[in-house]
A and B are shown apart, each in its own frame.
Chain A
Amino acid sequence: MRKYFKNIYLGFSTIWIGMMITLKHLLFYKNITIQYPEQRLQLPERERNRLYVNIDDCIGCDQCVRACPVNCIKIETIKAVPGDKVGKTGETSAGKKKALFVPKFTIDFAKCCYCELCVFPCPTVCIYMTDVFEFSEFQRNDLVYDFTDLTKEQAEEKRKKAEEWALEMQKKKEAAAKKPPEKKVPLKPETNDKNKSDESPDSKSDDKPSKDS
């Protein structure tokens, strides 16, 4: 019997305590919801959001493609013909020379899992995480971002050039093959020499505007 009344008492008193707590929250406590579009939280320092590729620095080395666990990066490359410079300077900002055009560099952010695995292997640190996280789209295809700086026509042109040059090289190779003693040795230095000789004047000429700017 005592327990019975104690139960009743406990029932009421505990409900009362609970109700007072919620009442306190209702009346006096500040609301802590962050009103998102107007109010934003400071993002953490190493947050992982949308990737950005600084195509000027990309050397088309394919490292990021291989690192990606979900295969959402797609790259196409075209060999640069001697005498043609890749990008504005033909060099990365760190001074590394670029030998490949990148007519296609797409990242499908619908697939991307933001694991950041593609960032670390990049030799030129040109693929990195930005702080953009609001990029929803109505069409899934709109989430495929293309980072290349070449238009289609340009890419086509480069491709033709590369093909022509490849044919040329083929002919040269055949010509070289006719001379049995030196087979491969002349080939490599030849291309290298050409690249170097091509690049040196270009880089000089391109250095000027960059300094001006």
Chain B
Amino acid sequence: MSLYDGIFYAFAIITVVSAFIVVLSKNIIYSAVSLFITLFGVAGFFVLLHADFIAVTQIMIYIGGILVLLIFGVMLTTKITDVKLKTKNINALTSAIFVIGITAVLIFIMLTTNWKVAEVVKYDETIDKIGVLLLTDYLLPFEIASIILLIALIGAAMYARKSK
């Protein structure tokens, strides 16, 4: 097992375990913190795949932005004095059936597919290409995405304003 394999498995274990905690934990804050670890683990995978830009974006947006917002929201909406941030498991039976079914299908696909192993791509700067592609081939989606975000921003600002 090479160093990279070791790191991969370490990240994999961290990610999977913390993902389980996200789902199973009864305490929302614990779930949020586990989500932090999960997202971090996923960023680690991106690094291992030489997708450095995506890895850092993952950290920046998901952890620095969304997760913080999430914890912030949970904290602001509960009282500090009585910590009752509990979640419940409902419909355990039906969800278990679905989970097992989907897992079985996925494993079946994984095992039966004839995977083609590609040559290991040499480490390459991705960021130049991403930048160029975003402003040439994918300019329209890029602009649409930015307009949607702008709309969301304006909408949020409108809602946040005090109605006079």
* Chain A directly contacts chain B within the complex, with at least one CB pair under 8 Å: no
* B residues adjacent to A (C-beta < 8 A): none
